[in-house]
Amino acid sequence: MAGSTHIVTNQPPPLVGYDAYTSDRALSAAVERHLDPEVLAEARSELAALGKTCGSAQVQEWGVLANENPPTLRTHDRYGHRIDEVDFHPSWHRLLGKGVAAGLTAAWARPGGHVRRAAAFLLWTQVEAGNGCPLSMTHAAVPALRTDPELAAEWEPRLTSLIYDRELRPAGQKAGSLFGMGMTEKQGGSDVRANATAATPLTEAGTYTLTGHKWFCSAPMSDGFLVLAQAPDGLTCFLVPRVLDDGGRNVFLIQRLKDKLGNRSNASAEVEFDGTWARRVGAEGRGVRTIIEMVAATRLDCVLGSAGLMRQAVAQAIHHCAHREAFGGKLVDKPLMRNVLADLAVESEAATTLALRLAAAYDDGGEQERALLRIAVPAAKYWVTKRCTPLTVEASECLGGNGYVEESGMPRLVRESPLNSIWEGAGNVQALDVLRALQREPAALNAYLQEVGKARGADHRLDAAIKGLLTELADLEGIESRARRLTERLALVLQGSLLARFAPPEVADAFCASRLGVDGGAAFGTLPHSSGLTAVVNRATPVS
């Protein structure tokens, strides 16, 4: 028949028109577990609505367009005036507006806010990860600003607002504001104490001018920035407003935008300060201590962002295999493919469960939970973000050649996948941070051991892993060279303990056998044979 070669068969439909929240059983179960009854009903409704938004064809198309049309820098206007503005595709603004409206910067302003926001952030990352940067920076700036009650009173209502106002004008005239951050410099990178940007005091108390070059400034279109600079008494944290109170532009010279592997929709910049007006945040010489709470919050967002990318990759892989036929049946029913999908699903659930547990610790705010976060956040940041890349690559392979084609969306996930491991302190930084906590803060290790101890007796492989971890912790010789291995074990044991307590038996069993025991290989798809693998895949299947 004429044209018969163009009849399309055996191609899966796009994964659209589904609820990304209620279909994610690991995520929805974690929200149910961690939220108090008085806020749970409202959170369910909010997250289900956001889940449907994330699964809609229109919003997913916005994500595609925002990445196909990356931001551009305009240093001057048509008359030659320096303006240093970044132009974005309309889809970027639509996405960012919905993210703000969904409460992704409002965790500090409502009960159960961190768990609710964490779930929403994990969902929203699946649509478009780039706009997570300004949302994360804005959210994380709040605890740093709280070191100065006057600044917090002025800025916190703007940062936790549900209104996105993209215009560059004085923040006091806006219903909502966004924040960025500038810490690293050419010569220092993660060693921020090597920063050379200079802060010169002005006559008005607490105000300075800054001179220097920031090698990496996040979200340069924001209303304000937290930056580090050398004041007379040492490295200090400063707030740099983009527009001054009188309406004039602050000196914020954007030298160029970074050309990045992924995260294409988001602007990351090099900026120059040349007599730039700033307000001190916290005491002089206490810059790292002041900004450390912001860093901790952004590190948790790296965990959440990676968990979101992993979930989307798994959802796409299972959806494809559930519709694609080969060798006489659905791919999802083939034992070897089912093993791969189950293995990916277990990794994704472990990441989600750990990320939401850490968000719940922020909501609790007690001494014990704060101590747990001191070890658990850098350990989770180290491990979950590193697992993201091999998982997204394997999930792409489940689509075969289709997964290597841009239209599938999988290449965008793959390009995005290394980012969270690199940003906010790469792997060695996280491992060394874990060592510092172990050596200087006994309460942190005690809190960790109490947390994993709640699952003792649930699985013999977990019990053995806890015992082995205690042995390793007792041996301090050459500890720095073993820091990565130790951090990995801390994260895996914590994940295993949480799954043993809260996940279905087949998920916990597969994790403990392959990650804590010896019954698993180095690649995905090497779980021990079990009749429970079908249930694992079914649990992770997105329902359209």
**Cα atoms found within 13 Å of the Cα of residue 510, Cβ hemisphere only:** 29
What does the alpha-carbon distance between residue 70 and residue 215 come to, in Å, rounded to a whole number? 20
What is the pLDDT at residue 191? 83
- Per residue in 311-334, pLDDT (tens digit) is 999 999 999 999 999 999 999 999
pLDDT exceeds 70 at position 544: no
What is the pLDDT at residue 2? 57
Q: pTM score, two decimals?
A: 0.97
Nearest to 533 by CA among 504, 503, 507, 514: 507
Q: How confident is the model at residue 124 (pLDDT cuts 50, 70, 90)?
A: very high
Q: How confident is the model at residue 478 (pLDDT cuts 50, 70, 90)?
A: confident
What does the alpha-carbon distance between residue 301 and residue 356 come to, in Å, rounded to a whole number? 11
Could you count the other beta carbons within 10 Å of the beta carbon of residue 304? 30
pLDDT, average across residues 94-100: 98
Tell me whether domains 25-285 and 289-540 share a fold: no
Could you count the other beta carbons within 10 Å of the beta carbon of residue 543? 11
pLDDT, average across residues 30-40: 97
Enumerate the domain spans of the chain: 25-285, 289-540
pLDDT, average across residues 451-460: 97
Provide the percentage of residues in the chain whose pLDDT is more than 70.
99
- Per the CB < 8 A criterion, the answer to whether 174 and 223 are in contact is yes
- Per residue in 215-256, pLDDT (tens digit) is 999 999 999 999 999 999 999 999 999 999 999 999 999 999
Tokens of 445: 């290790």
Sign of CA dihedral 244, 137, 55, 403: positive
- Structural class in CATH, domain 25-285: mainly beta
pLDDT exceeds 70 at position 3: no
289-540 — its CATH code?
Answer: 1.20.140.10
pLDDT exceeds 80 at position 149: yes
- Per residue in 150-172, pLDDT (tens digit) is 999 999 999 999 999 999 999 99
For 32-48, give the secondary structure using H, E and C. Answer: HHHCCHHHHHHHHHHHH
Q: How confident is the model at residue 4 (pLDDT cuts 50, 70, 90)?
A: confident
Provide the terminal-to-terminal Cα distance of the chain, rounded to the nearest Å: 34
